[in-house]
Structure 1
């Protein structure tokens, strides 16, 4: 299971090469990962080259990168994480991939990754929003949010999780930082608060999807009469909505 994100597909030009290892809860149950590439000056990149940014060894089957490139690794083991990494601005190119942690027992064939959203950037600067956690104040080259697909977390659930977990909602995060990488997650207490909100919003969204489906069925069932009446709602004690088609007076 590999999903690549890149700014330039030519491996020999890549200077920031990042492997995101998935482990623990997110590998077992699925979740969402936000990825933010952050451009930095050449001077800061030289500092990165001299520093250790490998948590565990990168995969051994990777293609060569630029002579002044840097391989980096991070580990995500929670159901939601904000991953940030630096790359050199201007000529800098990057690539990143998701891989199962080498110690994971669940086969990679049973998991997959799909992109959920891509954030916009300013047309003048080609930069997006500034980081609120991790490398605070640094602008992203473009947020990407990924769904780690597993039986417990479908796409709708992952989207809700990503929304609840956004720092803009005030959910505090703690970050494991190196000179060029940051992995921000929620502590146990914050996570429990988030889970309550996550479950509540999942239920509400699922209910809304059922309501919309019921409305569509109502109008479809009206057939040729649908233009002569309306589908009127009835909400039961559980909050579920059903619709009954009624002809408009005089139709």
Structure 2
């Protein structure tokens, strides 16, 4: 018979990711609300002083680099990366998990150092296609950078996926399913903005941006929770 103390420790370890996920979701909701209030002031009252507390600082704008929302999301993604690297490197049958951790670290580096934005600006696609605006050309150039880089990263993931154990492969598929919705939303946002640049103006633009940043933030939360659950269960 399993001692009560051992059962209590197991239940506590199993419930810890749930409690942390609950706390993280509360912070997510607060940051998304702050972003909405920050942007609503400009849309609903461009010349007034509504929502002055949130309008006073760009830190509340989750759609820009360096915002509180972006930093909180990167913190979650960083935690997921470290846990996946730990799980993947301690056993050769789990190497694909380490590969996922490495990919997420690259995403963090890209956000912090604006790598794809700089590459996109350097490509200067607006010189080849004068009809493109500078911002659209930069975004398409960044998308091209990720398309090329993605081929290399996917190749590495597929190679290690095949060499990993059955449980690690199952978790790898789950990580892919978690990431795909954000990738589709992010790519769709850039492509639609390039094809119909006027579509994202005004309120519709705010709605589209809100959807994009919400999906991005929740994706990072789900990745963190999944990595924590993996850490607490034997592979």
TM-score, with normalisation over the residues of structure 2? Answer: 0.27
Q: Hey, which of these two has a bigger chunk of strand by percent?
A: 1
Structure with bigger gyration radius: 1
TM-score, with normalisation over the residues of structure 1? Answer: 0.25
